[in-house]
Homo-oligomer: A and B are copies of this chain.
Amino acid sequence: MTQEAREETVLAAIEDRREQVNDAIDEELPMAEPERLYEASRYLLEAGGKRLRPTVSMLVGEALLDVEPLSEDYQAFPSLNDGTVDVMAAAVSIEVIQSFTLIHDDIMDDDDLRRGVPAVHREYDTETAILAGDTLYSKAFEIMLRTDAPPERGLDALRMLACTCTHICEGQAYDVDFETRGDVTIEEYLDMVELKTAVLYAAAASVPGIVLGADQDTIDALYEYGRAIGQAFQIQDDVLDLTVPSEELGKQRGSDLVEGKRTVITLHAREQGVDVDGLVDADNPENVTEAEIDDALDTLQDAGSIQFARELAEDLVQEGKDHLSVLPDNDAHDTLDDLADYLIERGY
């Protein structure tokens, strides 16, 4: 299949599932009192988002059970043994965690925009944003408790969720720490990305395996698929931050450079002797010029750093796809393959 056809398949798969995901989010996280708190909590979730992680969860369910795409009710999904499980609750729980981390990260990074709208701490205030994140945090656990999985598996899913959240915090702490460290290695960066970003993909892929009763090897393989494509996803994000116009990106292009974020690109460039800290003069994303970022991009391209990042992401995607060999051959399996490719081929 061509890249274009693959991308079309993936976008259709996401599109076909998005409405169900959004309905389930509304159902699992309804408006409640106090209104302002719940409005702020739901604000980013309502602002959009591709729902990539829930899509992964739904596809894993279909692939494992070897059922036709969209043929089953995800809220009463046939288990591998007996009874049914609410796979959608697991998918929504992961998306809610994702939203919580975005809200708190934007406060910490003092970012103004997210998904093309003001960050929650800008639209509301920092106090409300902290609290909105905290609310989503516990809601995600409440939602994960509603999968109707047999108790042992339910506990395993909760365990995965809790560990994932701890790892995300650790990853974010490393990310902040790296900004003031000059000696970060690419290996350390990849470990940070695993914690900060990839474990949530790993959870999205493996929790359906857990609640549906897959064996441990399958669960582990699904986890590794999510982990690998999650790392690739972040590296692609790093590339896009430099190469995609601000309007499409929903935030200022080149903000990572301005904020001194370490990325695989700048770490590679530094190894090639590029003066990374001197690439842009601006000290905040508002007063950087497009020309400045273009020049920086040229320098990084000449150093082979963009190419290096792309190849690394490709290797990770291949690694992720290899782990899917535990799944039966079916449409959902193919789409999970395509989705891995899409993560690094996407333009925004």
Please give, as numbers and ranges, the residues of chain B lying within 8 Å of A138 by CB-CB distance: 137, 162-166, 169
* Contact status A127-B162, CB under 8 Å: no
The answer to the question of A331 belonging to the interface, with a C-beta cut-off of 8 Å to chain B, is no
Expressed in whole angstroms, the minimum distance between the Cβ of A108 and any Cβ of chain B is: 4
Q: Select one of B33, B159, B169 contacting A145, CB under 8 A.
A: B159
Expressed in whole angstroms, the minimum distance between the Cβ of A166 and any Cβ of chain B is: 4
Please give, as numbers and ranges, the residues of chain B lying within 8 Å of A137 by CB-CB distance: 134, 137-138, 165
Report how far A343 CA is from B130 CA in the complex, Å. Answer: 30
Kindly report which residue of chain B lies nearest to residue A34, judged by CB atoms. Answer: B173
Interface stretch, picked from A7-15, A149-157, A204-212, A322-330, is A149-157
Expressed in whole angstroms, the minimum distance between the Cβ of A75 and any Cβ of chain B is: 19
Report how far A37 CA is from B151 CA in the complex, Å. Answer: 33
Also in contact, A151 and B142, with CB within 8 A (given A37-B170, A173-B37): no
Kindly report which residue of chain B lies nearest to residue A33, judged by CB atoms. Answer: B170
Kindly report which residue of chain B lies nearest to residue A151, judged by CB atoms. Answer: B151
Report how far A233 CA is from B330 CA in the complex, Å. Answer: 59
Report how far A145 CA is from B152 CA in the complex, Å. Answer: 11
Interface residues of A in 47-69 (CB under 8 A from B): none
Chain A, interface size: which category? 35 or more
* Contact status B163-A142, CB under 8 Å: yes
The answer to the question of A104 belonging to the interface, with a C-beta cut-off of 8 Å to chain B, is yes
Please give, as numbers and ranges, the residues of chain B lying within 8 Å of A135 by CB-CB distance: 166, 169-170
Report how far A151 CA is from B138 CA in the complex, Å. Answer: 20
* Contact status B134-A104, CB under 8 Å: yes
* Contact status A159-B131, CB under 8 Å: no
The answer to the question of A346 belonging to the interface, with a C-beta cut-off of 8 Å to chain B, is no
Please give, as numbers and ranges, the residues of chain B lying within 8 Å of A308 by CB-CB distance: none
Kindly report which residue of chain B lies nearest to residue A37, judged by CB atoms. Answer: B173
Kindly report which residue of chain B lies nearest to residue A137, judged by CB atoms. Answer: B137
Kindly report which residue of chain B lies nearest to residue A133, judged by CB atoms. Answer: B134
Report how far A131 CA is from B175 CA in the complex, Å. Answer: 12
Also in contact, A130 and B107, with CB within 8 A (given A36-B177, A37-B170, A166-B135): yes
The answer to the question of A348 belonging to the interface, with a C-beta cut-off of 8 Å to chain B, is no
* Contact status A131-B34, CB under 8 Å: no
* Contact status A177-B108, CB under 8 Å: no
The answer to the question of A176 belonging to the interface, with a C-beta cut-off of 8 Å to chain B, is yes
The answer to the question of A172 belonging to the interface, with a C-beta cut-off of 8 Å to chain B, is yes
Closest 6 A/B residue pairs (Cβ): A151-B151, A138-B165, A141-B162, A37-B173, A135-B169, A108-B127
Beyond the given A108-B126, A135-B169, A142-B166, please list 6 additional residue pairs across the A-B interface where CB-CB is below 8 A. A104-B130, A131-B169, A137-B137, A137-B165, A145-B159, A155-B155
The 17 sampled A-B contact pairs (Cβ below 8 Å) are: A34-B170, A34-B173, A34-B174, A34-B177, A104-B134, A107-B130, A108-B126, A108-B127, A108-B130, A131-B176, A134-B137, A135-B166, A138-B163, A138-B166, A139-B162, A142-B159, A142-B162
